[in-house]
């Protein structure tokens, strides 16, 4: 399975991935975690003087430096817009948090589904509108949209509905699983 979960920072993408994982056993990883683990901590320290005690410390600070993290991701992918997605999908079924629209468009046919998760009433807007407005992914770019303005239980119900939709698509050969 190749599922991409997108949406604004702090709107529940990782939590939604956890719900999907609990339901299905699918594994998930985030672009931030993969980039930080592979080279991002060193990049952020070398380029911006941001020093982190460990990976968890680095991950906890990513919201405070959206544009710098975007730049770290771009440094990692270089000219190959599919590189980060391929790297994440080598290890995980679900990729959480792609940042660039050009990256999304380069892998959209490789995905089984892209899912936008948002909590506009509960959390607010999208900080990436200011951090990376020139390459912003929007919910209209995704196959499905999940509203996370409710409770955790509501989000898990939404995950069940998404799994049911994916199963239906698989039965009708809409999904490319197994290619």
Is 60 domain-assigned? Answer: no
- 123-to-19, 31, 115, 127, 147 alpha-carbon distances in Å: 19, 21, 18, 11, 11
Give the closest residue to 32 by CA, choosing from 89, 70, 78.
70
3-state secondary structure (DSSP) of residue 88: helix
Is 70 domain-assigned? Answer: no
Is 16 domain-assigned? Answer: yes
Domain that holds residue 15: 3-31+81-171
Backbone angles phi, psi at 149, to 5 degrees: -85, -5
Is 165 domain-assigned? Answer: yes
Is 38 domain-assigned? Answer: no
Is 50 domain-assigned? Answer: no
Whichever domain contains 21, its CATH number is: 3.40.50.300
Give the closest residue to 34 by CA, choosing from 111, 113, 98, 81.
98
How many domains does the structure of the chain reveal? 1
Is 73 domain-assigned? Answer: no
Q: What is the pLDDT along the chain (179 residues), one digit of tens a residue?
A: 899 999 987 788 999 999 999 999 999 998 888 888 888 888 888 999 999 999 889 888 887 887 888 888 888 889 999 999 999 999 999 999 888 899 999 999 999 999 999 998 887 776 666 656 678 898 899 999 999 999 999 999 999 999 999 988 877 765 554 44
* Predicted local confidence at residue 179, as pLDDT: 43
Is 64 domain-assigned? Answer: no
Q: What residue has token string 């940042």?
A: 99
Q: Are 149 and 122 in contact (CB under 8 A)?
A: yes
* Predicted local confidence at residue 130, as pLDDT: 63
Q: Tell me the whole-structure pTM to 2 decimals.
A: 0.86
């Amino acid at each position: 399975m190749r599922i991409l979960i997108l949406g604004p920072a702090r709107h529940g993408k990782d939590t939604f991935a956890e719900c999907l994982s609990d339901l299905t056993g699918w594994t998930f990883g985030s672009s931030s975690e993969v980039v930080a683990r592979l080279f991002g901590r060193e990049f952020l320290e070398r380029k911006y003087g941001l020093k982190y005690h460990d990976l968890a410390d680095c991950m906890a600070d990513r919201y405070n430096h959206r544009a710098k993290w975007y730049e770290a991701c771009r440094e990692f992918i270089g000219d190959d817009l599919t590189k980060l997605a391929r790297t994440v999908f080598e290890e995980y079924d679900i990729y959480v948090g792609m940042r660039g629209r050009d990256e999304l468009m380069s892998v959209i046919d490789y995905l089984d589904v892209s899912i936008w998760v948002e909590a506009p009433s509960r959390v607010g807007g999208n900080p990436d509108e200011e951090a990376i407005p020139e390459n912003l992914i929007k919910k209209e770019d995704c196959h499905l949209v999940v509203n996370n303005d409710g409770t955790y239980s509501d989000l898990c119900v939404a995950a069940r509905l998404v799994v049911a939709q994916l199963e239906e698509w698989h039965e009708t050969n809409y999904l490319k699983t197994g290619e």
